[in-house]
Amino acid sequence: MKKYLSKIIFALIVVVFIICCAVSAPITEAVGTLWSLLPPVVAIGLALITKEVYSSLFLGILTGGFLYAVSTNTPLPEDPEAPVLTGFPKFMDAVVNKGIIANIADSYNVGILVFLVVLGTIVVMMNRAGGSRAYGEWASAHIKTRKGASIATFLLGALIFVDDYFNCLTVGSVMRPVTDKHRISRAKLAYLIDATAAPICIIAPISSWAAAVAGTVDGVNGIQLFIDTIPYNLYALLTIVMVIFIALSDTDFGPMRHHEDNARNGDLFTTKNTAYPPDDKPVHTKGKVIDLILPVVILIVMCVLGMVYTGGLFSGADLITAFSDCDASYGLALGSIGALILVILYFLCRRVLTFTSCMDSIVAGFKQMVPAILILCFAWALKSITSMLEAGPYVSGIVESAHAIQILLPLILFAVAIGLSFATGTSWGTFGILIPIVTGVFSGDLASTAETGVIPEMVIICIAACLAGAVCGDHCSPISDTTIMASTGAQCDHVNHVSTQLPYAFTTAGVCAVGYLISGFIQNVFVVLGISIVLMIAVLFTIKLLSKKKAAPEQS
């Protein structure tokens, strides 16, 4: 019975959700109603139950295509001469044309895919040159404990704060040999990577995330507002507290504990599906630590230069403006290609790789990234169909109707942002929808900001709640780009990463909810942040004690 319990619960949840959808609106009016959230519910639920992410995402896409096809309230084509599709042609147009093809052809998405393939190539070259092996041996001599390996992973993630995609893949590539050596599960590595990607970027003033947030605010200094929200961004700050506590105490709970117990016994993956094929080419015996460190440094420098170049740094813009105006996709693609050329030249000069081996690494790097590319393409398609069903405007309408309860508004915004980000898999899209609503609600209060230069505290709290909820939902969602990248960086089965990370994210979110509830009554950053941190530590110590009590009967 236990074997089928989770499937039964999921089936009941879907049935109840569909009934709620039917009560709220007929299926022929799915656009802009509760029906718009059904596709991600199907995809996410199936992925967690079946442990198979490709088919789950595709079924979610098909569900969205069906809803779009049967809806009579879909917008008409912008071109008046374009045919109005109905029935099966409308379904196929939504799934194949607007869902899959449009996203694969999108220039921003292609830039991310180019970055993925190039990074995979550089990683393969570092492995074949012996750099990863040499670094693993060096790290084993200097990082002698599991705690040290976890803290080192956290610190490296905190240092690479410019962009979350870049963070996930670089930290994973560098730290995999170290965490494998100390028998840290790939699921735990994926969590450490994910917890130091978006949560770090969302509190870093010089990052692609700061630029994205600043771009959604009108009438005030966007970067200044972003900096003001940092102390109130409870999810990001408390996630950092949790990561440090877990690393130092070596405490785990939920499914992660099972993965970690298996890793201590030599099984780093727990499930048979490792997803990422090994590179079976021989490793050069003369590889040195510099053969891993220097390519990573080159990659970091070139990608940062690529991003600020697209933001106009070399055309007269200052550094902060360059980050604010940068095109992260083009910058990462540009920087990574430049880094690839330099790394190839370096390995040729070192004579640890031949030119033929370098070219073979491009194909091998592409193969390494195929799982991530497939998941990303399906996730992008699902997001597009969810957007076509106008899930964002539906959720934003709910928020606008709740603005009268200003004391509870931070908590409401945090909860809504989690739900929207979890369902759509995009934190940027979530705060892009919610922040303009917040500024609209407080337009009267913001009118005086231009004269005084002081942004009202409640505005800062509410925008911080939007950002925190967006990151939290992004952290939990199986269709989030960052979550997918963290799985890729750790070379961990994607569903394993999501299922082991959820209890950690939900625990942090629960404490954040209390913090945002308090913030509505006491608009003081020291009180709100202080109480939240103390509560977070208390919860973690309680979990640690409960874990010890649970482990005691098992050992006896």
Q: What is the pLDDT of residues 30-40, one digit of tens each?
A: 888 888 888 88
Q: What whole-number distance in Å separates Cα of residue 231 and Cα of residue 172?
A: 28
Q: Who contacts 269 (Cβ-Cβ below 8 Å, separation ≥6)?
A: 185, 186, 492, 493, 496
Computed from CA positions of residues 177, 182, 186, 190, in that sequence, does the dihedral angle turn out positive or negative?
negative
User: Which residue's entry shows tokens 């960086």?
Assistant: 489
Mind listing the pLDDT tens digit for each residue in 115-161? 878 878 887 888 788 877 777 777 777 888 889 889 888 888 887 77
Structure tokens at 219: 């009438």
Q: What are the CA-CA distances from residue 478 to residues 41, 48, 238, 239, 452 (Å)?
A: 11, 9, 21, 18, 43
Name the band, by pLDDT with cuts 50, 70 and 90, for residue 278: low
Residue 58 near residue 98, CB atoms below 8 Å: no
- C-beta of residue 402 within 8 angstroms of C-beta of residue 409: yes
What's the mean pLDDT when you consider all of the chain? 81
Closest-CA residue to 111 (of 299, 333, 338): 333
The one-letter code for the residue type at 244 is: I
Residue ranges of domains in the chain: 2-105
Task: Please give the distance of CA 196 from its chain centroid, rounded to a whole number.
Answer: 10
d(CA 333, CA 344) in angstroms, rounded, equals: 17
Tokens of residue 214, six digits: 């600043």
CA distance 449 to 456: 8
- Look-up: residue for tokens 């099966």? 88
Residue 556 has pLDDT above 50, yes or no: no
Contact 349, 333 (CB under 8 A): no
Q: Which one-letter amino acid corresponds to residue 103?
A: N
pLDDT level of residue 516 (50, 70, 90 thresholds):
very high
Helix (H, G, I), strand (E, B) or coil at 161: coil
Residue 485: name the closest of 376, 379, 384 by CA. 376
CA separation for the pair 375, 538 (Å, rounded): 37
Quickly list DSSP for 459-495: HHHHHHHHHHHHHHHHHH-TT-HHHHHHHHHHT--HH
Residue 281 has pLDDT above 50, yes or no: yes
pTM of model > 0.85: no
Give start and end residues of each alpha helix (H) in 389-442.
391-401, 409-424, 427-441
Confidence of residue 236 (pLDDT cuts 50, 70, 90): very high
> pLDDT tens for residues 87-116?
788 888 888 888 889 888 888 888 888 887
Q: Using 50, 70 and 90 to split pLDDT, how confident is the model at 409?
A: confident
Identify whether the C-beta of residue 310 lies closer than 8 Å to the C-beta of residue 369: no
Number of helices (H) and strands (E) in the chain: give both, helices first.
28, 0
**Helix axes of 164-181 and 328-350: crossing angle, nearest 10 degrees:** 40
SS3 per-residue string spanning 215-269: CCCCCCCHHHHHHHHHHHCHHHHHHHHHHHHHHHHCCCCCHHHHHHHHHHCCCCC
Contact 462, 399 (CB under 8 A): no
- Angle between helix axes 409-424 and 494-521 (nearest 10 degrees) is 160
Mean pLDDT along residues 202-220? 68
Cα–Cα dist 313/517, whole Å: 42
Written as one string, the DSSP assignment of 60-92 is HHHHHHHHHHH-S-PPPPSSTTS----HHHHHH
- Are the C-beta atoms of residues 347 and 129 closer than 8 Å to each other? yes
pLDDT at 536: 95
